[in-house]
Amino acid sequence: MSRTDAVLIGSCPLGPAPVKVLASLMAAGAGDIPALARRILQAPPDLIEWRTDHLADRSEAALTAAAGVLRSHSDLPVLGTLRTAAEGGRAAVSEREYAGTVGAMIASGGLDAVDIELRRGASRELSAEARRRGMPVVMSLHDFSGTPAAADLLKAMERMAGLDADILKVAVMPSRREDVLVLMDAALRAGGAFGRPVIAISMGALGALTRVGCAAFGSCATFASAAGASAPGQFSVSETRRMLARLDGSVSL
């Protein structure tokens, strides 16, 4: 894969340009999905991130039913994500439960792509299962405690590429301005080193620039709020699109 190759998620190509906008849908149950989907579609983003960690029932049957409801109320491509508390989400799950839930998400028929956390023990097996089904994998590393050194971020993304991830994602928390530059530098270098699209986010107010200055350091997508923010520092979809359009001429309103 060359650096200029895009990864198709549903009908939406990610990487290298224009920068795409994702918004998270965080429903407690299938009954909440129609109203949340309508709010998101009014924005609208390019893709929906379905945060299944907000579901009260994550059994295989419940996931499949909820996926069907989402498909019937939105035609946007869907990235499925199970985010644990340590990664900024709500799921309190064991390694076994994580593998089972993400495996059920992959099998549900409701996803166009799946997010798999690099540090999970089943990351290799889950990635292989997604690829067996022809489903792109966004492999991610989240660090809410700080910003690792650029060399460590690059090592993490190298591991993701080694697990055959289609898109490499890192999201970190800065404590000083220099941390934002570390994240941007690592993302820029990773795009050339690993030949895969990169999503790189420095969270919170200090890292807000990375949510809209994506094109400057090679990040192919950003997350914005439409039916509630899923991480600190997010702008609304409309705000994000306006700023992307000013900073990157390939993005349209």
Give the type of residue at 51.
R
CA distance 224 to 238: 9
Higher confidence at residue 235 or residue 176? 176
Position 238 confidence tier, pLDDT thresholds 50, 70, 90: very high
Is there a domain that residue 148 lies in? yes
CA distance 150 to 135: 29
Hey, what are 80's tokens? Answer: 């499925």
Mark whether 169 is an active-site residue: yes
Given the residues 20, 54, 155, 169, select the one marked as catalytic. 169
Peptide bond into 16 cis (omega under 30): yes
Q: What total of structural domains would you count in the chain?
A: 1
* Interval 104-121 mean pLDDT: 95
Is there a domain that residue 101 lies in? yes
Is there a domain that residue 119 lies in? yes
pTM (predicted TM-score): 0.93
Is there a domain that residue 253 lies in? no
CA distance 144 to 147: 8
Is there a domain that residue 252 lies in? no
Asked if residue 251 has pLDDT above 60, the reply is no
Element housing 189 (H / E): helix 177-194
We report the CATH number of the domain holding residue 46 as 3.20.20.70
* Interval 21-45 mean pLDDT: 96
Element housing 49 (H / E): strand 47-51
Mark whether 54 is an active-site residue: no
Per-residue confidence (pLDDT) for residue 2, from 0 to 100: 41
Is there a domain that residue 107 lies in? yes
CA distance 157 to 46: 24
C-alpha of 230 from chain center: 11
Interval 190-216: pLDDT, tens: 988 999 999 999 999 999 999 999 989
Query: C-alpha angle 188/194/198, rounded to 5°?
Result: 50
* Interval 117-133 mean pLDDT: 96
* Interval 49-56 mean pLDDT: 96
Interval 59-92: pLDDT, tens: 999 999 999 999 999 999 999 999 998 888 899 9
Per-residue confidence (pLDDT) for residue 247, from 0 to 100: 82
Is there a domain that residue 40 lies in? yes
Percent of the chain at pLDDT exceeding 90: 83
Position 99 confidence tier, pLDDT thresholds 50, 70, 90: very high
Given the residues 20, 54, 73, 142, select the one marked as catalytic. 142
Is there a domain that residue 2 lies in? no
CA distance 183 to 177: 10
Percent of the chain at pLDDT exceeding 70: 93
Asked if residue 1 has pLDDT above 50, the reply is no
* Interval 98-113 mean pLDDT: 95
Q: Do 126 and 99 meet the contact criterion of CB atoms below 8 Å apart? A: yes
Per-residue confidence (pLDDT) for residue 3, from 0 to 100: 46
Q: Tell me which residue range forms the domain holding 189.
A: 7-247
